[in-house]
Amino acid sequence: MLLFATGTLDNTLDSTVDGVLENTNALPEPIRPWIVIALGLLAAAVIAIVVSFVVARALSNKPEIAKDAARARMPLWWALNFAFTKIAIGLTLRDNEWVRLWQFLLLLGLVLSIAWLVTVLLGLLEDMVLAKYRNDLDNPRRLAKMETQVGLLRRVATVVVMVLAVAGTLLTIPEVRALGAGLLASAGLISVVAALAVQSSLANVFAGLQIAFTDAIRVNDTVVVETQRGNIEEITLTYVVVVLLDGRRMIIPSTYFTTTPFENWSRRTTEINGSVLLDLGWNAPIEHLRARTEQLLASTDLWDGRVGSLNVTDAIGGILKVTIAVSARNPGDLYDLKNYLRENLIAELHQDYPDVLPQPMVPGVPAV
């Protein structure tokens, strides 16, 4: 792909440089090549500026995409510079021996700059695809799904472009091409050895693809892995980054999510239920607590209004097990809501009904 693009760019610019050469025949021979190269570099700069201006105007109403598109200006400028210089040197200095080395270096720079440009354009394409989903505030799960899948596809395409760039560069060296032809005879054995050597890595790669397109987890999902709760921050080809509640990041191989059971608290929807547990004495004012819980839930935006009830779920050994079932729009709100209820109810019980709170047990000291 990159070699085809390089050849196409060479053919397009070849006629342009030929026209420049015809207009510089009157110049002295020693400075004629350098004038042609300078004109080529000037033309490359003009083309890069014009293309950048046109793209910026076309994306003026999309500042986020325009900012990413501006990053393509530098690789485009380098690609045009390498292409113009390579063709100019090839047409004006073709009889010199040292031209071969310069032509190889320019071709190397051209291939790498085109690979750089394609990589930037892949990022721009990702932003353009995701732009129409970012405005859909009513369906954030769809955006998370697209971010996961499109982001993973961009990484795969970037790796392919880099591999093609390296391969295209090596194929320009005759010695490497001859060596490659000799190695084809043992390609079967090499492929078997390589497959065994990277078996675990390939398993993680395919697991990453499976995760992205089976929709098992998405970016920003709330999961429980290894008894730790956190949010999915990034999904790559080989590993998944989970941000834990305390800010630590757990790096987990992709195969973990395809071979080990785990909890996804936001698989279909971010809405989630939870409970607050209180151990109280038999004289606890249950009706007062029920009414106060309803008041506290109604006074906070953390509660989504679906579930909100207080019940005595057990009574053993002089202790009442009071369970408050609540619901929230997402795990983060649920965590804050549970803390909000627990802190307020305990503070009020400690102030107004201190005798219903269980006494702390100290070893060797009988309970009062």
pLDDT at 112 over 60: yes
Q: Mean pLDDT highest for which of 172-181, 189-198, 212-221? A: 212-221
- Pick left, alpha or beta for residue 330 (phi over 0 → left; psi -120 to 50 → alpha; otherwise beta): beta
Q: What is the mean pLDDT of the chain?
A: 74
Mean pLDDT of 306-314: 90
DSSP of 286-300, one letter per residue? HHHHHHHHHHHHHT-
How would residue 324 be classed by pLDDT, with cut points 50, 70 and 90? Answer: very high
Q: Say what the alpha-carbon torsion angle 86, 91, 96, 97 is, to the nearest 10 degrees.
A: 50
Q: Which residue did the predictor score with more confidence, 148 or 14?
A: 148
How would residue 305 be classed by pLDDT, with cut points 50, 70 and 90? Answer: confident
- What are residue 279's DSSP bridge partners? 321
Specify the range with the lowest mean pLDDT, choosing from 36-45, 175-184, 288-297, 318-327. Answer: 175-184
Q: Which residue did the predictor score with more confidence, 219 or 21?
A: 219
Specify the range with the lowest mean pLDDT, choosing from 126-135, 157-166, 339-348. Answer: 126-135
pLDDT at 216 over 50: yes
Specify the range with the lowest mean pLDDT, choosing from 176-190, 222-236, 313-327. Answer: 176-190
Instruction: Determine the pLDDT at residue 362.
Output: 44
DSSP state of 310: E
Instruction: Determine the pLDDT at residue 271.
Output: 77
Q: Which CATH number fits domain 272-356: 3.30.70.100, 3.40.50.150, 1.20.120.530, 3.80.10.10?
A: 3.30.70.100
Mean pLDDT of 316-323: 87
Which tokens in the block code for residue 177? 């091409």
Main-chain phi, psi angles of 99, to 5 degrees? -65, -30
Instruction: Determine the pLDDT at residue 36.
Output: 66
Instruction: Determine the pLDDT at residue 122.
Output: 84
CATH of domain 200-264: 2.30.30.60
Alpha-carbon distance 331 to 274, whole Å?
9
User: What H or E segment, with its residue span, contains residue 303?
Assistant: strand 303-316
**Sequence-distant (≥ 6) Cβ neighbours of residue 120 within 8 angstroms:** 68, 71, 72, 75
Mean pLDDT of 246-260: 87
Mean pLDDT of 238-256: 87
Instruction: Determine the pLDDT at residue 74.
Output: 81
Closest CA to 81 of 38, 52, 41: 41
How would residue 183 be classed by pLDDT, with cut points 50, 70 and 90? Answer: very low
Mean pLDDT of 131-140: 65
Beta sheet of 272-280, edge-to-edge order: 272-280, 319-328, 303-316
Q: Which residue did the predictor score with more confidence, 256 or 188?
A: 256
Q: Pairing between strand 228-235 and 239-244?
A: antiparallel
Instruction: Determine the pLDDT at residue 171.
Output: 67
Specify the range with the lowest mean pLDDT, choosing from 99-113, 115-129, 153-167, 189-203. Answer: 189-203
Reported as half-sphere exposure (CB side, CA atoms, 13 A), residue 62 has a value of 18
pLDDT at 14 over 70: no
How would residue 180 be classed by pLDDT, with cut points 50, 70 and 90? Answer: very low
pLDDT at 311 over 60: yes
